[in-house]
Amino acid sequence: MEIRELQWFVALAESEHVTAAAERLNITQPTLSRAVARLEKRVGVPLFDRHQNRLRLNKYGEVFRAHAVRAISEIDRAEQRIATLVDPDTGTITLGFLHSYGTWLVPELLAGYRTIAPATTFELRGSAADVVVDGVRRGRLDLGVTSPRPVGDDLRWTPLRDEPLGLLVPVGHPLASRGRVEMVELAAEEFVALQPEYGLRQVADRLCEKAGFAPRIVLECTELSTLRTLVASGLGVAVVPSTGDPAAYGGRAVHVPLADPQAYRTIGMIVPAGGPRAAVVARFHDYVRSTARPRG
């Protein structure tokens, strides 16, 4: 059974008229009729009910059309995937990343890459750290930009940036006028934080642990923008990236640098341990690695 004959059958099923379908396909009516006869002989039942000059898809034809459409779609997808393996400049890359990286790092990487590979397209998925890591592990994502480094030897990690962290406090807070602050000074503070599965939360928890205390978390959320708003509303303090836009706080919160040497999070790119599976992904992966600027 040829894929071409399946395509002809689907076209005839849509028009239910041999003449119209043959003209649309740019083939002769006898050629189309013979192709349908071969399909019907192969499946052992008629696929159309004949009514003078018209055809009507019957119940067997409806079943066959559903499978034919899926088969044609799968062949098209296979051809597209093979094309991306052959040509590293074309194809689609599914990129996962932490939500906060969508405001600065991801646009920076994509803008730079489009100057050398404008035909490459991207499907972007912002999420929590554990969702990004799981997506790469399960093959739902081609690449992931995340922090901290995931545990396990089934992923390859490339450090890209070290993002400084600071303390966000409400205006009028006793620490708001400080030039910098150490984590050990925060043991008595009430914190607002992202939920435990988020990378920033994991880094912040480790900073508190290293300073000798467990943070008193009074509110948890899932968005960095929400976290900053909660602080600006006077509901607590938070460890946040220094890359945040101070204007976003509406003048109601102050960012104070953290003096602790470990007050940063390393952002990295992850791929399966065996490396990218498609040439289009491998080329983008190599480009991102070339932009890496981690400490040390």
pLDDT in tens, 171-220: 999 999 999 999 999 999 999 999 998 888 989 999 999 999 999 999 99
Domain 91-160+266-290 coded CATH 3.40.640.10:
no
Q: For 38-54, what is the mean pLDDT?
A: 86
Q: What is the pLDDT of residues 154-168, one digit of tens each?
A: 999 999 999 999 999
Reported confidence tier of residue 100, pLDDT bands at 50, 70, 90: confident
284's enclosing H/E stretch is: helix 279-290
Instruction: List the structure tokens of 219.
Output: 């509110």
Q: Phi/psi zone of residue 29: left (φ > 0), alpha (ψ -120 to 50 degrees), beta?
A: alpha
Closest listed residue to residue 84, CA positions, set 286, 280, 276: 280
Q: Give me the chain's average pLDDT, please.
A: 89
Mean pLDDT for 258-264 is 93
In 3-state terms, what secondary structure has residue 19?
A: helix
Closest CA to 184 of 156, 213, 216: 213
- Note whether 195 and 168 are within 8 A (CB): no
Listed in order, the ranges of the chain carrying CATH 3.40.190.10 are: 91-160+266-290, 164-264
pTM of the model as a whole: 0.63
Q: What is the largest CA-CA distance in the chain?
A: 89
Over residues 24-34, the mean pLDDT reads 88
* Model pLDDT, residue 255: 92
30: helix, strand or coil:
helix
The CATH architecture one would assign to domain 164-264 is: 3-Layer(aba) Sandwich (3.40)
The secondary element (H helix, E strand) that includes residue 156 is strand 155-170
- Decide if pLDDT at 54 tops 80: no
pLDDT score, position 152: 86
Architecture of domain 3-86: Orthogonal Bundle (1.10)
- Give ranges for CATH 1.10.10.10 in the chain: 3-86
Residue 101 has pLDDT above 80, yes or no: yes
